[in-house]
Amino acid sequence: MKQKCYKGLTFIPYIESERIRERVAELGSEITSRFEGKNPLLICVLNGAAPFALDLFRSIDTDAEIAFIRLKSYEGMESSGKVKEVLGLTDSIKGRDVIIVEDIIDTGRTMHKLMADLGEMEPASLSVATLLFKPEALKCPEVKPDYVGFEIPVKFIIGYGLDIDGLARNLRDIYVLKDESHK
Ligand code: IMP
Ligand code: MG
C-alpha cells in the first residue's frame, strides 16, 4: 500500500481493505440480528456508497433488498451545503424497514435532508449505516448514525467508493490526504 497522488495531492494509507472487510462483516452481523425474520431495504446513496453498500448487503444473513438513489451535495474537497432531490427511487418504501447506506457523514447535511425526505414516505423504520463518520464536523446534531464503520477525525479521505473529483473510488483501501503543514 504505497501513497497515491490525485490532482497534485498526496494521499497516504489509512484503513486497509482487510480491516474494512472485517468491520463490514461486523456491521452485517449487527443488522442481521436486528432485522432477523424481517425484510430490510438497504438504500444505497450513489456513487460513493456503492462498494460499501454491496459488501454490507452480502454480509447480511436474512432476507434483505437493495435499491439505489442519487443525491449529490459535494464538489471538490469542500461541502457545498447544496443538496439536490432524491433521484431513482421507483418503488414505495411505505411500511418498509429502511436502512440508508452512505459512504461518509461529514457535516450531516446530506443525511439530514435524506432522512427528512425518506421519512415523509412513511417507512416502518428508518436507520442509517455509514462507513465513515466525522463526529467533529457534524453540523446537524439530529443525525445519529445507527451503524458506523469507523469514526474518523476531520480529514479528507479517498478510496473504497470515496472520490476526489470522481477519481479514486476504485481503490480497495482507504487513504487520507497527507498533512503537508509539518514539512
Ligand atoms: P455532508 O453533507 O457534509 O455530510 O457530506 C456528505 C457527502 O460529502 C458524502 O456523501 C461524500 O460524498 C462527501 N464527502 C464528505 N467528506 C468526504 C471526504 O473526506 N472524502 C470524499 N468525499 C467526502
Ligand atoms: Mg456520498
DSSP 100-165: EEEEEESSSHHHHHHHHHHHTT--SEEEEEEEEE-GGG---TT---SEEEEE--S--EEBTTB-BT
- Nearest-ligand number for the alpha carbon of 159: 1
* 112 ligand 1 Cβ < 6 A: no
Reply yes or no on whether 106 is catalytic. yes
Q: Which residue has the least CA distance to atom 10 on ligand 1? A: 104
Q: Can you give the pLDDT at residue 81? A: 54
- 156 Cβ inside 6 Å of ligand 1: yes
Please identify, by atom number, the ligand 1 atom nearest to the C-alpha of residue 79: 3
Q: Which of 55, 97, 106, 163 is an active site residue?
A: 106
Instruction: Please give the chain's pLDDT, 183 residues, in tens.
Output: 699 999 999 999 999 999 999 999 999 999 999 999 999 999 999 999 999 999 999 999 999 999 999 985 545 555 555 656 788 898 999 999 999 999 999 999 999 999 999 999 999 999 999 999 999 999 999 999 999 999 999 999 999 999 999 999 999 999 999 987 654
108 CB near ligand 1 (under 6 Å): yes
Strand partners, 65: 41
DSSP type of residue 87: B
Protein residue closest via CA to atom 5 of ligand 1 = 106
183 CA distance to ligand 2 middle (Å): 31
Q: Which ligand is nearest to the CA of 110?
A: 1
Ligand nearest to the CA of 171: 1
Residue reference for cell 453540523: 139
